[in-house]
A and B are shown apart, each in its own frame.
Chain A
Amino acid sequence: MAINLPIYMDNHATTPVDPRVLEAMLPFFGEKFGNAASRNHSFGWSAEEAVENARAQIARLVNANPKEIIFTSGATESNNLAIKGVAEMYREKGNHIITQVIEHKAVLDTCKRLEKYGFEVNYLPVEKDGRINLDDLRRAITPKTILISIMYANNEIGVINPIAEIGKIAKEKGVFFHVDGVQAAGKVPVDVQKDNIDLLSLSGHKIYGPKGVGALYVRRRNPRVQVSAIIDGGGHERGMRSGTLNVPGIVGMGKACEVCQNEMAEEGERLRRLRERLKEGIFAKLDEVYINGSMVHRLPHNLNVSFAFVEGESLLMGINDVAVSSGSACTSATLEPSYVLKALGVGEDLAHTSIRFGLGRFNTQEEVDYVTDRVVETVNRLRELSPLYEMAKEGIDLSKMNWRPA
């Protein structure tokens, strides 16, 4: 089978829209353009019906009730709404929030803002494998704790947290549990009942749906959770999120959830096999390659690897017909290497050499083999160019060198 270049293997960043999703959306850009809030004519009714259908599709994916799904503009907004909304609503009850250091910035920066307004936040460390320690969590809970916010799976290393155990602890202690489920939902089974999740952030574009649409699951019973709105206006979404609904986006997200649910088992297994093939191909042909994060508790489609002595951006430049991403400082907006890898205890030297592969629905085995060959060839070429590789081969301990940073 011929390979089409460039190859997209950065599916944690975003995913292409599935053609079935696009097809479901199209009528809502055309003849079905109505406002779902228009109660008095058929244009509004058909839009509302489509929105309610999507709400049910999304709810089914995570075992929720459709009434518990609030539409947003994306997971960043969902995370903001969950955390700020609970903080404001339950301020009288307490001002303490627990999260972890490797959350997405949408959670971390939301928590940082709340700190300015008098909230106290614990940022739990993670173990070497990228998961939080449950004893750390238990110890961090105080009578003032109102919320625990822990992601289901990390966007860089794909490591899955012990969500059911955290949910159990939160429930025992009477603390709300918010989960950023963006990377996990649709890829692995997420069940808000089984896992005792009270709030769950979801995104459309990570599951082969469109960008600009997301959802927040807000538990309605046992216990009932309320969030203060952060956007005021016409009182849509039961007052929790005002603003005219993005009907085509919502329809697309609903369809994307349905497809994921129907195909999750098969797709997860296929991607796991491809991921293992990629990993084994790389490890068979290169030395000094290190996996970042647990391989056991991990999304099936993620591989995060450090190629020692080869700087990440230069590797990306060498495999320029393959779209992946790096934890190297040179590829980040902040010019700092990945804070996620740093939190795992990966040295900054190795963080600069990390590459994240995010396999997806449309990747083929031929593509995986092509990517493997390109990576191996480029790493070998760059190691020939690397003074560090040469020194390591000479037996010099690089950590004992007296470096002269620029």
Chain B
Amino acid sequence: MAYSDKVIDHYNHPRNVGSLPKEDPNVGTGLVGAPECGDVMKLQMKINPETQVIEEAKFKTFGCGSAIASSSLATEWVKGKTVEEALAIKNTDIVRELSLPPVKIHCSVLAEDAIKAAIGDWKRKKGDTTPAAQTTTTHG
């Protein structure tokens, strides 16, 4: 399968690889996927409780090149955004940006799930129990 130039670029030069302290009350951690399915994404964000701005984002991903690229792109996109803005990122935006073929759409779904899971975790730490967003229904 031929990869798009953007996927190759993110694969070769992944942005924001790493981990943030998951015990930090301002850090939200999203861990989605499963090893049996061949992809697991861990997305972490450090969020300013005053401004709700995502000041830092880090990821680690086990998965194919498209999964790595989707999560790398997600960290780039959420950085500097408010929580609300980050929640508005759709998997289809990722598909478009990376020119993912149909068989790789689930990678973008996973990245969107990871963003929502990380923000949900941060909200739980803040004592907010409302769900971060509705669960996507396009799961592959």
Q: Which of A59-67, A135-143, A170-178, A305-313 contacts B (4 or more CB under 8 A)?
A: A305-313
Do B64 and A314 touch (CB < 8 A)?
yes
Against B, the Cβ 8 Å flags (1 = close, 0 = not) of A68-81 are 00000000000000
Expressed in whole angstroms, the Cα–Cα distance for A328 and B17 within the complex equals 23
Do A385 and B110 touch (CB < 8 A)?
no
Closest to A388 in B: B62
Do B113 and A314 touch (CB < 8 A)?
no
Tell which of B35, B68, B139, B140 touches A403, judged by Cβ atoms closer than 8 Å. Answer: B35
**B65, B67, B110, B139 — most chain A CB neighbours (10 Å):** B65
A residues less than 8 Å from B19 (CB atoms): 390
Do A404 and B31 touch (CB < 8 A)?
yes
- Asked if B109 is at the interface of the complex by the 8 Å CB criterion, the answer is yes
Give the shortest distance, in Å, between A260 (CB) and chain B (any CB): 33
A residues less than 8 Å from B37 (CB atoms): 329, 348, 405-406
Expressed in whole angstroms, the Cα–Cα distance for A261 and B67 within the complex equals 46
Expressed in whole angstroms, the Cα–Cα distance for A405 and B63 within the complex equals 12
B residues less than 8 Å from A311 (CB atoms): 38-39, 62-64, 67
Do A385 and B113 touch (CB < 8 A)?
no
**A349, A385, A389, A403 — most chain B CB neighbours (10 Å):** A385
Closest to B107 in A: A406
Do B36 and A348 touch (CB < 8 A)?
yes
Expressed in whole angstroms, the Cα–Cα distance for A390 and B20 within the complex equals 12
Do B38 and A385 touch (CB < 8 A)?
no
Do A406 and B31 touch (CB < 8 A)?
no
Closest to B105 in A: A406
Expressed in whole angstroms, the Cα–Cα distance for A318 and B103 within the complex equals 20
Do B61 and A385 touch (CB < 8 A)?
yes
B: residues with CB less than 8 A from A are 3, 8, 11, 14, 17, 19, 31-42, 60-65, 67-68, 103, 106, 109-110, 113, 117, 139-140
A: residues with CB less than 8 A from B are 309-311, 313-314, 317-318, 328-330, 335, 337, 347-349, 352, 384-390, 398, 403-406
Q: List 5 A-B contacts (CB under 8 A).
A: A311-B63, A314-B63, A318-B11, A348-B38, A388-B35
